[in-house]
Amino acid sequence: MLMNDLERKVEALLDSQKRDWKLARENYASLSNVQTRYFRDNDRTTVLQFNPERIRSSAAKIDKASLQARPCFFCHRPEEQKGVVYDDAFEILVNPYPIFEDHLTVPLRRHERQQIRPYFRKMLDIASELPGYALFYNGPRCGASAPAHMHFQAGRRSDFPFVRDWLSFPKQIIRETERTGFYVTAGHIPACFIFESRDREEAKAVFDLLYDRLPVKPGDYEPMMNVLAWKEEGVWVTGVFPRRELRPSCYYAEGEANILISPATVEMAGLFVVPLEKDFEKVTFADLETIWKEVSITEEEKNALVRKIKEEA
């Protein structure tokens, strides 16, 4: 396969960081022995990954005081961490605490809070230039471990169950034009708005249409959401998972009922990461469905949104 300039640079970055940076070398090496479980239901396969290194992320405190107490890890990087500059505005880095074989972080090159609206177009551009990857965005209260510093992440498209399975999900059409389709999952959790387009500006217009109609909680500055986007055969596909909770009730439960899962885009897209062995062994698919249900918008909220979008569009 012919690689473009950016792909070649990112390939070389992954190779050199996994070789020369001790932390990355060790964590990518242990990733190759992680255990996985698979849950098959009607139209998809959901994956459970036991990954002890991710305890930092799953149990991360993101309240104001905790955030202020630790330096931003995008602005203060270890000397060994190298990057590839993208379009002056962003930089592509190797994530030293990987979930995937090739796990990238893509921070903005200045310290600015996590917010997607001004950067969604850029997300599509990067997805276009890294066609093997799916880009993802965790909202400031939806799994981002650095909510104070704008960033995307990326992993190989094939590593996301959602990318493989979304075509067979039951969906309702919100709107279809010659170049763009806008859908929402029907009778399926988690609720997800999906749009595909050959045209970047049309994709951006659909994103804004949805974004502007999602509720913003008191004290927040953007609607709670996770976003996944990739490009495939000239078509951008975007999945938006509106959220209502940062963490499910099992995260806070005591004793046997406790499951340490803190959902972000990766979980919404069908790959659950558990840092604790006790959870890896006991979790059932029903537990995962409960988690999706608790952190997603409700069926009623979803239907109300669809009505609103159809009326105004």
Which residues sit at the interface with Zn ion, rule CB under 5 A?
Answer: 72, 74-75, 111, 149
Minimum separation from the CB atom of position 90 to Zn ion (A): 13
How many helices (H) does the chain have, and how many strands (E)? 12, 13
Minimum separation from the CB atom of position 138 to Zn ion (A): 16
| Nearer of residues 75 and 216 to Zn ion, judged by Cβ | 75
| Nearer of residues 89 and 313 to Zn ion, judged by Cβ | 89
Minimum separation from the CB atom of position 299 to Zn ion (A): 38
| Nearer of residues 19 and 110 to Zn ion, judged by Cβ | 110
**First and final C-alpha spacing in the chain:** 41
| Nearer of residues 74 and 241 to Zn ion, judged by Cβ | 74
Minimum separation from the CB atom of position 113 to Zn ion (A): 10
Minimum separation from the CB atom of position 150 to Zn ion (A): 9
* Residue in 173, 215, 217, 165 with CA at minimum distance from that of residue 193: 173
To which H or E segment does residue 307 belong? helix 299-312
Minimum separation from the CB atom of position 91 to Zn ion (A): 11
Tell me the C-alpha to C-alpha distance, in Å, between residue 264 and each of 17, 35, 122, 140, 207.
25, 20, 20, 10, 19
* Residue in 281, 290, 188 with CA at minimum distance from that of residue 239: 188
Question: Contact at 8 Å (CB) between 126 and 152?
Answer: yes
Q: Which residues pair with 272 in a beta bridge?
A: 48
- The encoded tokens of residue 214 equal 């999602």
- Measured over the CA atoms of residue 24, residue 29, residue 32 and residue 34, the dihedral's sign is negative
| Nearer of residues 122 and 149 to Zn ion, judged by Cβ | 149
Minimum separation from the CB atom of position 72 to Zn ion (A): 3
Write the single-letter amino acid at 85: V
Cis peptide before 190 (omega within 30 of 0): yes
Question: Contact at 8 Å (CB) between 296 and 243?
Answer: yes
Minimum separation from the CB atom of position 93 to Zn ion (A): 12
> Residue 168's CB: how many other CB atoms inside 10 A?
10
To which H or E segment does residue 309 belong? helix 299-312
| Nearer of residues 75 and 167 to Zn ion, judged by Cβ | 75
| Nearer of residues 111 and 179 to Zn ion, judged by Cβ | 111
Which residue has its beta carbon closest to Zn ion? 72
| Nearer of residues 103 and 151 to Zn ion, judged by Cβ | 151
Compute and round to an integer the Cα radius of gyration of the chain: 19
